[in-house]
Amino acid sequence: MNRIYHEPFTIMQNNIQKQQLFIASCLALLVTSLSFGIRAGILGQLGEQFQLDPGQLGTIAATAFWGFPLAVVIGGFVVDVIGMKKLLLVAFVFHLAGILLTVFAGGYWGLFISTLCIGIANGTVEAACNPLVATIYADNKTTKLNHFHLWFPGGIVIGTLIVYFLSKAGIGWQVQVGLMAIPTLLYGYFFSKLDFPVTERVASGISTAAMYKALLNPLFILMIVLMFGTAITELFTGQWIDVLLKNVSDNALLLLTLETGIMVIGRGLAEPVVHRFSPTGVLFLSAVLSALGLYIMGHTTGNMLFVGAIVFGMGVCYFWPTMLGFVAENLPETGAVGLNLMGGAGMFAVSVYMIFMGDHYAALQASSLTPAEAGQAVLNTTLLIPVFLSVAFAGLFLYMRNKNKVAA
């Protein structure tokens, strides 16, 4: 199926600096992930300084996930028209505005608006960079999307370490957030100087009508539904782990650092893993390990929490990029819109789940449960999602294996 792409891409890429575009894309994703890591680390501080309850904190954290699907879906529909370069310069403006507004926020609404700006920027980065990576590495999409997305957990590791060490040194959260301006300025400068290709769909001559028809493919609709679960499992847990487990462990934030460090290593080693197990096999194993990791973190204390974080990190590390890679390889006619609808669906699901669980966590604390019990209760509720995914991906693995046998 993908053979139709290779010849036009060879011609198209002659004057495109693929490596420089990839590096700049990784910088842009680094800013996105730093915002997640730093926000996860300072969420408790924001609650104390501005006297915000868990429900308000959940809404602020969820705002980034609202802005993301809004931007990634709109970006998916316009990227073929205005081009990936202009879209990434829009992301730069929103990132810079969001960082500055966060630093000078004075309360709930300031944090709400600034986090929304950062969410819009994050979604715009994904809207342009996912199809960009799929375009410039058309013959190795899943692997390169994993390599690109290793900078998401990588940035979270960096962000949480920034929070941990600067907080220990008595340096305020405003400075911690302000440090994100450095990679933001860098990626804005690099993208402004580089030439971009057109998207894969445009270069291959697939019509807009054919693209929209492909979006109705039952397999694509199934992947959208499964993206709800993979995104919630990975991103909700990562964003709230410090809040949920701070009364269970003295090093709750370091659990996130450990989990995301495992994700960096896993995505860096994606090529042999994906080739050995196939994308659907990887997704099945990921769901099983995610469920096991959540179970351990929801039922233990002390050092066993770190074991749970390691297993959980091994599970979620391949979810997001492999879901995108599966669509890019098996449903290429969906184009940039398909990739961005996947990302938008995932982030929208996380935003809804985060608000619901923020209120649920507050209600549990108001009941007879201790904060430690309430936090682990939320994790145990979330555990049901990767259990469902394990069954679903097992079915998808068998379906794709039979389909490939018939095609052969």
In a domain, 3, yes or no: no
The total of other beta-carbon atoms located within 10 Å of residue 228's CB is 18
CB 155 within 8 A of CB 30: yes
Per the structure block, which two tokens stand in for 18?
């693929």
Domain that holds residue 84: 16-407
- Residue 9: per-residue pLDDT: 44
Residue from 313, 315, 293 nearest 304 by CA: 293
Helices (H) and strands (E) in the chain, counts: 20, 0
Spatial separation of the C-alpha atoms in residues 191 and 206, rounded to whole Å: 27
**Residue 135's domain is classified under what CATH number?**
1.20.1250.20
CB 125 within 8 A of CB 187: no
- Residue 63: per-residue pLDDT: 82
In a domain, 5, yes or no: no
Q: What string of DSSP letters covers 169-236?
A: TT--HHHHHHTTHHHHHHHHHHHHHS--PPPHHHHHT--HHHHHHHTT-HHHHHHHHHHHHHHIIIII
Spatial separation of the C-alpha atoms in residues 315 and 22, rounded to whole Å: 26
- Residue 385: per-residue pLDDT: 97
- Residue 97: per-residue pLDDT: 95
CB 318 within 8 A of CB 310: no
**Mean pLDDT per 10-residue run, the chain (408 residues)?**
42 69 95 85 82 81 79 86 92 96 90 91 92 88 91 84 87 91 95 87 80 93 97 86 73 78 91 90 97 93 89 94 93 90 89 85 85 87 97 96 76
Residues 6+ apart with CB under 8 A from 225: none
Spatial separation of the C-alpha atoms in residues 133 and 138, rounded to whole Å: 8
In a domain, 298, yes or no: yes
Query: Which single residue is written with the structure tokens 């999409």?
Result: 141
In a domain, 218, yes or no: yes
CB 371 within 8 A of CB 357: no
What's the pTM value of the predicted model, to 2 decimals? 0.81
Residues 6+ apart with CB under 8 A from 383: 291, 294, 295, 298
In a domain, 2, yes or no: no
* Total count of domains within the chain: 1
In a domain, 348, yes or no: yes
In a domain, 219, yes or no: yes
- Residue 6: per-residue pLDDT: 43
In a domain, 8, yes or no: no
- Residue 15: per-residue pLDDT: 63
CB 60 within 8 A of CB 108: yes
What value does the CA radius of gyration of the chain take, rounded to a whole number of Å?
Answer: 20
